[in-house]
Chain A
Amino acid sequence: MTDRILTTRMEAHPGDSHTLTRYEATGGYATLRKTLAEMTPEQVQEEVEAANLRGRGGANFPCGVKWGFLAPAEPRYLVINGDESEPGTFKDRQLLERDPHQLIEGIVISSYALDVHHVFIYIRGEYPRSARRVQRALDEAYAAGYLGDDIMGSGFSLDVTVHLGAGAYICGEETALLNSLEGRRGEPRLKPPFPAIEGLYSKPTIVNNVETISNIPWIIANGGAAYDAIGPEGSRGTRLFSLSGHVERPGNYEIVMGMSWRKLIYEVAGGVRDGNGLKCWIPGGASAPWLTPDLLDEPVTIDDTGRLGSMLGSGAVVVMDETTDIVAAALSITRFFAHESCGLCTPCREGTTWLQRILERILAGQGRESDLDLLVDVCDNISPGLRWPPAMTTICPLGPSVVSPIMSIITHFKDEVRAMIPQGEPAGV
Chain B
Amino acid sequence: MSWPSDVRRRAEEIIARYPEVRSAVMPLLYLAMRQDGGLTLDGMREVAGYTGLTPVRVESVASFYSMYKRGAAGRYIVSVCTSISCHLLGGENVLDAVADETGVPSAETGTDGMFSIEAVECIGACGGAPAVQVNYELIEGVTPDAGRRLCRWLAEEQPEVVGSDHMQAEFGGIRSFDWGPAEPVGAIGPVPAFGPYGSAGEVS
Contact = CB atoms under 8 A, between A and B. Distances in A.
Interface residues of A, number: 69
A298 B178 CA distance: 30
Contact of A329 (B61, B88, B120): B88
Interface string A356-383: 0000000000000000000000000000
Contacts of A187: 64
A165 interface: yes
Nearest to B19: A201
B176 interface: yes
B5 interface: no
B76 to A, nearest CB: 15
B138 A336 contact: no
Contacts of B180: 10, 14-18, 97-98
Given A87-B83, A182-B20, A329-B87, A250 B195 contact: no
Interface in A86-100: 86-90, 92-94, 97-98
Interface in B108-128: 120-128
A250 B176 contact: yes
Nearest to B82: A332
Interface in A26-69: none
A246 interface: yes
B67 interface: yes
A168 B65 CA distance: 6
B194 interface: yes
B177 A336 contact: no
Interface string B77-110: 0000011110111000000000000000000000
Interface in A181-229: 181-187, 201
Nearest to A127: B124
Contacts of A251: 127, 176-177
Interface residues of B, number: 57
Contact of B126 (A14, A250, A333): A250
Interface in A230-268: 242-246, 250-252
A131 interface: yes
Interface in B1-47: 17-20, 22-27, 29-30
B133 A126 contact: yes
Given A85-B122, A88-B85, A332-B83, A250 B129 contact: yes
Contacts of B124: 84-85, 89-90, 92-93, 124, 126-127
B127 A87 contact: no
Given A126-B192, A186-B64, A87 B84 contact: yes
Highest count of chain B CB atoms <10 Å: which of A17, A128, A135, A286? A128
Contacts of A167: 65-68, 120
Given A94-B176, A166-B67, A128 B84 contact: no
Given A124-B124, A184-B61, 14 more contacts: A75-B19, A85-B124, A89-B124, A118-B19, A126-B123, A127-B124, A129-B164, A162-B194, A163-B26, A166-B65, A180-B26, A184-B22, A252-B127, A332-B82
Interface of A: 10, 14-18, 75, 84-90, 92-94, 97-98, 118, 124-129, 131-132, 135, 161-169, 180-187, 201, 242-246, 250-252, 282, 286, 316, 318, 320, 324, 328-329, 332-333, 336, 339-340, 342
26 contacts: A10-B180, A15-B180, A85-B124, A86-B122, A87-B126, A88-B85, A88-B122, A90-B124, A90-B177, A92-B124, A94-B176, A129-B137, A129-B138, A132-B193, A135-B195, A163-B26, A164-B26, A167-B68, A180-B26, A183-B51, A242-B127, A243-B127, A252-B176, A286-B122, A316-B126, A336-B121
Interface of B: 17-20, 22-27, 29-30, 51, 60-61, 64-68, 82-85, 87-89, 120-129, 133, 136-138, 164, 174, 176-181, 183, 185, 187, 192-195, 200
